[in-house]
Amino acid sequence: MTSGLQGITPYIFGTTRLGDPKIPRPERLKAARAAMDEGVWFHTSHTYGEALDVLAEAFSAEPVKIPKLIIKIGWETIGQLRQVIEQNLEPLGLPGMQLGQLCLGGELAEDYARGGDCYRVFRQVKEEGLVNGFVVEAFPWTSNQSVRALRGGYTEGIIDGFIFYLNPLQRFASNELWDVIIAREQPILALRTVSGGPVHSLRDVPGFAWKDYLQKRAVEVAPIFERSGIKSWTEFCMRFAHSFPLVQATIGSTSKTDNLDEFLEAAKAIVPLPEDIVSEIGILQSRWSDEVDIHAEKWSM
Ligand SMILES: NC(=O)c1ccc[n+]([C@@H]2O[C@H](COP(=O)([O-])OP(=O)(O)OC[C@H]3O[C@@H](n4cnc5c(N)ncnc54)[C@H](OP(=O)(O)O)[C@@H]3O)[C@@H](O)[C@H]2O)c1
């Protein structure tokens, strides 16, 4: 395994819920500190509301437990990359991060796809110790740039893997990128462990799924989950992500220590799901990708 992913924890604590001001701050701090106690890696971004502020408070209370961080960086130009790194590290008071999650758009995405100058800057940023490694974010509408970069061989030796929604209801690498990632054995970080919440709530509670398509997918996946006989949706999802040998970790968020305990329990001795279940969901995901995902407006799903 490449250096940036060395020591990665199979469950990574996502921090969107830490950023939500509607949740009492002491509750969010408690969840953050409980996750720090467990030594799991964290995933964050300055775009997640108050998340960095809550993390800064938790880190300063117990600096020896500061976790390895995956942080979203980008976006559209090479110059912006350093600014965004600073925007995240400065509030946390940290000299560097474990993994920079490259969120690439505009001219920076095009440069990445054609093997341009950005790779020199990626290397510099790494040599300076601002990041220990990189993963590239993929969405259906950005998958093609990674297909081009991988086929060109440009990512070798500098990009440690790819990060995208991969859970029972979403596989946000296009089918073409998914096939290239599998063929080239690229490490994967799977986002949104439980697809946003329990599958029955996503299916049955009006407004629980933030988009209609997720409610429809929950209708298709709930019977597969029920048939598996697994009681906990969190366990089912943890096992789903880790049924793919290239998956190194799955990233899920919570503001509640009980739900954190469920993630941690599920991550203790992960057994892949039975093959027939994985392939049944895989067939759905391949269809959803072609019929829905790759036609979607950017950022609409
Ligand atoms: N492009 C990107 O980089 C990107 C995009 C999306 C997400 N992410 C990362 O991935 C992380 C996870 O994504 P996510 O929050 O969208 O999806 P998620 O982890 O699948 O779902 C989180 C939601 O599920 C609830 N939940 C968690 N465990 C539960 C349980 N046992 N029972 C009932 N509800 C439970 C949480 O609420 P409670 O707080 O009430 O537990 C929260 O509302 C984010 O925090 C972020 O770090 C990255």
**Cβ pair 93, 66 in contact under 8 A:** no
2 pLDDT exceeds 90?
no
103 pLDDT exceeds 90?
yes
Write phi, then psi, for 158 (nearest 5 degrees).
-130, -35
Residues with CB under 6 A from ligand 1: 14-17, 43, 72, 101, 137, 191-198, 234, 251-256, 259, 262
Among candidate residues 57, 41, 50, the one with its CA nearest the CA of residue 4: 41
Beta bridge partners of 164: 190
pLDDT at 3: 77
Among candidate residues 229, 245, 232, 231, the one with its CA nearest the CA of residue 277: 229
Query: Mean of the per-residue pLDDT values for the chain?
Result: 97
219: CB partners within 8 A, 6+ apart: 203
Over the stretch 241-273, which tens digit does the pLDDT of each residue have?
A: 999 999 999 999 999 999 999 999 999 999 999
Over the stretch 31-80, which tens digit does the pLDDT of each residue have?
A: 999 999 999 999 999 999 999 999 999 999 999 999 999 999 999 999 99
188: CB partners within 8 A, 6+ apart: 161, 162, 163, 164, 166, 181, 244, 246, 247, 248
Q: Which ligand 1 atom is nearest residue 234's CA?
A: 31
What pTM does this model have?
A: 0.98
Mean pLDDT of 284-294: 96
